[in-house]
Amino acid sequence: MEKKFGALRVVGTLYKVLGVILLVLGILGGSIICIGGIVGSTALQDMGQQFGINPGMSIAGAVVSGVMTVLGTAIGGLTMFAFGEAVYLFLAIEENTRAAANRG
């Protein structure tokens, strides 16, 4: 049986690949935000103690920012991947419907 809708297959694959890339970059970005925030806030706390000022971001803030970044990009990446799977689902439904119509 011939495969129809080649452009939709490309779009479905593209969404799935972009979803995985977004998920990986989100995990890396969240880790970098968390580590950078911890290092930066530690340095600011040391400097703040020397000059008597209170830095705005704490270690907890850095961890929360990193976790929220990972969660936000995970939701976006999984949504994009699911959209790609939905495209393939609709294509499979079309193929099965066409095969059933040709049999009967």
Q: Report pLDDT digits (tens) over 31-83.
A: 999 898 888 777 777 666 677 666 666 778 888 989 999 999 999 999 999 99
pLDDT in tens, 7-19: 999 999 999 999 9
Quick check: is 2 in a domain?
Answer: no
Q: How far apart (Å, rounded) are the C-alpha atoms in residues 48 and 58?
A: 12
What is the total count of domains within the chain? 1
Contact indicator for 26, 73 with CB cutoff of 8 Å: yes
Is residue 17 one of the residues assigned to a domain? yes
**Averaged pLDDT for residues 83-91:** 96
Q: What is the pLDDT of residue 48?
A: 67
Q: State the average pLDDT over residues 18-29.
A: 96
Predicted confidence at residue 42, as pLDDT, reads 73
Residue range(s) defining the domain that contains residue 75 = 9-97
Query: Is residue 68 situated within a structural domain?
Result: yes
- Does pLDDT of 1 surpass 70? no
